[in-house]
Amino acid sequence: MKNKDLAKLLLRIGVGVIFIIAGWSKLSGIEGVQGFFGNIGIPLPGVMAWVVALVEFVGGIMVLVGYKVEIPGILLAFTMLVAILTVKMGGDNGFSGMRLELMLLLTSLALSMMGTGKYSLDDMLGSSGGDKSDAAPI
């Protein structure tokens, strides 16, 4: 695939921007997030609101710039899984109510597995976040 690095960049831009905005929204209204988490039964809602907000905001920045995407990719996917299981699944909207979260979960996982590509901070720094498809088999 001749444009795989550009494709990875486009995925990183989409996922990164969405999570940066969502994380900033949570950080800007953390008290509301804490209350919401408490209402839906998430343990330690005061702590977990900060954890989720920071994972989304900082993780979104890491994905956007292409730095060590394996770590935030897994964490962001996990936050989407929790969102689907606690809020979206079984809601009034059925599948249509969780389409975005499912797509973000899968795309975050895919980026975590693929690496960041040529247009990334990892590539500029010469770190290992580049193209996973060229790696030696285990």
Residue 134 is assigned to a structural domain of this protein: no
Q: What is the pLDDT of residues 89-118, one digit of tens each?
A: 766 666 667 889 999 999 999 999 999 999
Tell whether the torsion through CA atoms of 49, 53, 58 and 59 is positive or negative: positive
Give 61 or 94, the one with higher predicted confidence.
61
Residue 86 is assigned to a structural domain of this protein: yes
Which pair of tokens denotes residue 18?
């969405």
Q: What is the domain range of residue 75?
A: 9-116
Domain count, the chain: 1
Q: Is the pLDDT reported for residue 132 higher than 70? A: no
Residue 110 is assigned to a structural domain of this protein: yes
Taking alpha carbons only, the member of 8, 4, 6 closest to residue 107 is 8
Q: What is the pLDDT of residues 21-49, one digit of tens each?
A: 999 999 999 999 999 999 999 999 999 99
Could you tell me if residue 28 is left (phi over 0), alpha (psi between -120 and 50 degrees) or otherwise beta?
alpha
User: How far is the C-alpha of 74 from the C-alpha of 85, rounded, in Å?
Assistant: 16
Share of the chain above pLDDT 90, in %: 78
Per residue, the 3-state secondary structure of 54-95, as one string, reads HHHHHHHHHHHHCCCCHHHHHHHHHHHHHHHHHHHCCCCCHH
